[in-house]
Amino acid sequence: MIVFSEKLPGLGELIMVPLAPAAHAAVVHGWVTKPRNRYWGMGEHTVQQVEEVYTFVDGLDTHHAYLLLLDDAPIGIFQTYEPEHDPVGECYDVRPGDFGLHLLLDAGDRDLPHVTSAVFPALLRHLFADPAHQRIIAEPDIRNERMITRLRREGFNLGPEIDLGHKTARLTFLDRSRFEARTA
């Protein structure tokens, strides 16, 4: 079932489908265990453990995981969550309309220049298409300078550092009004 799709000029069609834990565990495992994706926190997981994590996520009403495809070839994971039902919500004052995201892009051997610069804004447009989403949050590991730089480039404001137990993270926020002003 396609949840979202958008043509990305010069790249192809971005398609988002629900992540199926059993069917997608091997491809996800191939991504999350790469050293470059160490901040995903699953570097030592087996395929079975990856499947178990996403089976758990699949059972939640407040958290969702999606497989991202570009012209039917997998390129990443997109996760969303309601901060008030997540440990991150204990670290800041959650506002009505806050909505969280996690993104891992890995095109493998495919040469996809500037794929993040095309995919990230498309995903933000998708999230803000829901009028209930007033502010998007993310909380990358403070050592993940590439993601923090990407979030700032997309208009996110930096918030405080927070301790989530398994990582020290940087809260980041993108208000709907700022997003709309940047994309008008």
Its domain, for residue 56, covers 4-183
Closest CA to 88 of 141, 127, 156, 130: 141
Tally the domains of the chain. 1
80-83 contacts: CB < 8 A, separation 24 or more? 80/127, 83/137
Q: Rounded distance, CA 143 to CA 104, Å?
A: 15
pLDDT digits (tens, 9 = 90+) for 136-153: 999 999 999 999 999 999
Instruction: Pull the structure tokens for residue 150.
Output: 């990407």
pLDDT digits (tens, 9 = 90+) for 76-110: 999 999 999 999 999 999 999 999 999 999 988 88
Say what the pLDDT of residue 109 is. 81
To the question of pTM greater than 0.75 for the whole model, the response is: yes
Say what the pLDDT of residue 53 is. 97
CATH (domain of 149) = 3.40.630.30
Amino acid at site 126: H
Q: What is the mean pLDDT of residues 58-84?
A: 97
Are 99 and 136 a contacting pair, CB within 8 Å?
A: yes
Say what the pLDDT of residue 136 is. 98
Say what the pLDDT of residue 117 is. 94
Instruction: Pull the structure tokens for residue 65.
Output: 């995981």
